[in-house]
Amino acid sequence: MADRRSLRGRIQAWLVNRYPGQAVIRLTQKRIYILPTLAGSAYLLVVLLILLLAVNYQNNLAYAVCFTLLSLFITAILHTYANLSGLESRALLTEPVFVGDEAYFRYQLNTDRGLFQLGLGFDKAQCMTLDLVANRPANVEIPSLCSQRGWQQADLLYIGSLYPLGLFRAWSWLRFEQSVLVYPKPVAGGEIEALRGAEQHKHAVGARGDDEFQELKSYYPGATKSSIAWKVYAKGHGLQVKEHQGYAGNELWLDWDSWPELSVEARLSRLCYWALVFSQSGSRFGLRLPGKQIAPATGVEHKKNVLTQLALYGGGPEDGRSG
């Protein structure tokens, strides 16, 4: 078992070396492999049995059956090969995901002939099957579980087909220049100093009502719904966004040093959680990582920026204990 796995690993490694990653891959004879399936081998065995029957009974029609089946076997090679040949696959952009989620790697398939029953997947056994109509590109999404943060390269993509007779499997392993950004897994927990401070500050000053002392800014894309000043909008003054004065004075910082007791990955997970919480509530927040700092801001771009920094911290994931 171990041997088989290592063999498979070696084959994969060989494939990776053989084909440079590309954005568009067209399947040609350099890339298509074709071998009889198990059922195809059983079929050959039956052909052999029929041959024995023909020889022993000197029956020329049994010979004819035997040779017809054998010729069909040969013809099936061409048909199976043709069902994969000329397929053009293109890697599309893939949305970032969190560790533990499935990333949907997206591909566009196009062909100038109808192709049938193509199986696609990162795992040969668990494929998605589709028929392709000529000159009508089809987009497919193939899920892949992400277990590590950072840039994750797409696995070799298996693309194969048994069509038309299942006697042969034609397949190819595609290596695309394609990767997905995996954010740390958000894990709830801990408290944010500044948040607590702000709360205390509010209690101390006390007199000011929250609503009155907000600064209104004109709407910018990415502002959360809850931050929109709906009352102002209802008065006909256009879309305005409430900037929480209370936080503005005491800016929120997600700080690497907030939880020294945690390991690197745990810290990143917690920071990620809070980053999501703040983005959700539309708060202005900044990020402080060792050697890196992102100034407080709001919006989708900012969130992406922060999460990307978290994902790529330390050039990739490290062992939890060493942190």
Partner 1 sequence: MAEVVNQTSRELTPGAKKWLLIMLITVSAPQLMYVPLWLAVTGGCLLSWVWLTLERHRYVIPRWGKGVVVIAVILGVLVFSSQSKGLDGLSSLLIAGALLKSMELKKQRDGWVLVLVACFIAAVGFLFNQSMPSAVYGGVSLLTIVCALLMMHQGSTQAWLFLPVKKSLFMLLQSIPLMLILFLIFPRIGPLWSVQYQQSTAKTGLSDRMQPGDISRLTRSASVAFRVSFTDNKPPAPEQRYWRVMTFADFDGQGWSIADVTKQDMQGDVSDDDLIEYQVIAEPSASTWLFALDYPLASSASAVQRYSDGTFKARAAVSQRISYTASSLLIKPYDGHPLVNRPRYLAVPAAGNPQTRKMVRQWQQKGFSAEEKIAALFKNFNQHFTYTLSPQKLQGNRIDQFLFDTREGFCEHFANATAYTLRLAGIPSRVVGGYLGGEWNDYEEYLLIRQYEAHAWVEAWLDGKGWIRLDPTTAVAPERVIQPFDQLFSSSPEFMADSSMMAFRLQQNLAWLKTLSLRYDALNYNWHRWILGYHQQQNNLLQDWFGQISLLKMLLLLFIPVGCMLMIVFWWLLKVQSRWMHPVDKEVVAISDLLAKVSVELKRASGETVQMYSVRLAETLPEIRAELDAWSGLYQRLRYADASAQAEDTSLQYHRLSQQLMSKIKRLGKQGVIGKGVKQPDVEKQIETRVW
Is 92 an interacting residue with respect to partner 1 (CB under 8 A)?
Answer: no
**Sole binder of partner 1 in the list 11, 13, 78, 216 (CB under 8 A):** 78
**DSSP-assigned beta bridge partners for residue 26:** 88
Instruction: Give whichever of 130 and 276 is closer to partner 1, judged by the CB atom.
Output: 130
Give the angle subtended at the CA of 316 by the CAs of 322 and 144, to the nearest 5°. 120
Q: Kindly state the smallest distance separating residue 19's Cβ from partner 1, in Å.
A: 22
Instruction: Give whichever of 142 and 252 is closer to partner 1, judged by the CB atom.
Output: 142
Is 57 an interacting residue with respect to partner 1 (CB under 8 A)?
Answer: yes
Instruction: Give whichever of 116 and 233 is closer to partner 1, judged by the CB atom.
Output: 116
Total interface residues for partner 1 by CB under 8 A: 62
Residues 252 and 297: their CA atoms lie apart, in Å, by: 10
**Sole binder of partner 1 in the list 36, 166, 246, 299 (CB under 8 A):** 166
Is 35 an interacting residue with respect to partner 1 (CB under 8 A)?
Answer: no
Which pair of structure tokens corresponds to residue 192? Answer: 């944010």
**DSSP-assigned beta bridge partners for residue 215:** 243
Is 43 an interacting residue with respect to partner 1 (CB under 8 A)?
Answer: yes
Q: Kindly indicate which of the ranges 160-168, 204-212, 215-223, 299-307 contains the residues binding partner 1, using the contact rule CB under 8 A.
A: 160-168
Three-class HEC string of 48-105: HHHHHHHHHHCCHHHHHHHHHHHHHHHHHHHHHHHCCCCCEEEECCCCCEECCCEEEE
Instruction: Give whichever of 62 and 195 is closer to partner 1, judged by the CB atom.
Output: 62
Is 128 an interacting residue with respect to partner 1 (CB under 8 A)?
Answer: yes
Of 76, 80, 122, residue with least CA distance to 102: 122
Is 122 an interacting residue with respect to partner 1 (CB under 8 A)?
Answer: no
Q: Which residues does 173 contact at the CB level (< 8 Å), separation at least 6?
A: 12, 15, 19, 156, 157, 158, 159
Rg (the chain; Cα; Å): 30
Q: 96 near 119, Cβ under 8 Å?
A: no
Q: Which residues does 198 contact at the CB level (< 8 Å), separation at least 6?
A: 246, 247, 250, 252
**Sole binder of partner 1 in the list 6, 24, 41, 71 (CB under 8 A):** 71
Q: Within 13 Å and on the Cβ side, how many CA atoms surround 319?
A: 2
Which pair of structure tokens corresponds to residue 227? Answer: 């931050």
Which pair of structure tokens corresponds to residue 167? Answer: 């006697």
Is 29 an interacting residue with respect to partner 1 (CB under 8 A)?
Answer: no
**Sole binder of partner 1 in the list 117, 179, 224, 250 (CB under 8 A):** 117
Q: Kindly indicate which of the ranges 112-120, 173-181, 203-211, 256-264 contains the residues binding partner 1, using the contact rule CB under 8 A.
A: 112-120
Instruction: Give whichever of 86 and 296 is closer to partner 1, judged by the CB atom.
Output: 86
**Sole binder of partner 1 in the list 2, 5, 58, 234 (CB under 8 A):** 58
Provide the sign of the torsion angle of the four alpha carbons 23, 26, 27, 28, taken in this order: negative
Is 67 an interacting residue with respect to partner 1 (CB under 8 A)?
Answer: yes
Which pair of structure tokens corresponds to residue 181? Answer: 């950004």
Q: Kindly indicate which of the ranges 43-51, 200-208, 295-303, 308-316 contains the residues binding partner 1, using the contact rule CB under 8 A.
A: 43-51
Is 102 an interacting residue with respect to partner 1 (CB under 8 A)?
Answer: no
Is 248 an interacting residue with respect to partner 1 (CB under 8 A)?
Answer: no
Instruction: Give whichever of 47 and 156 is closer to partner 1, judged by the CB atom.
Output: 47
| Contact set with partner 1 (CB under 8 A) | 39, 42-43, 46-47, 49-50, 52-72, 74-76, 78-79, 82, 85-86, 112-114, 116-117, 119, 124-131, 133-136, 138, 140, 162-167
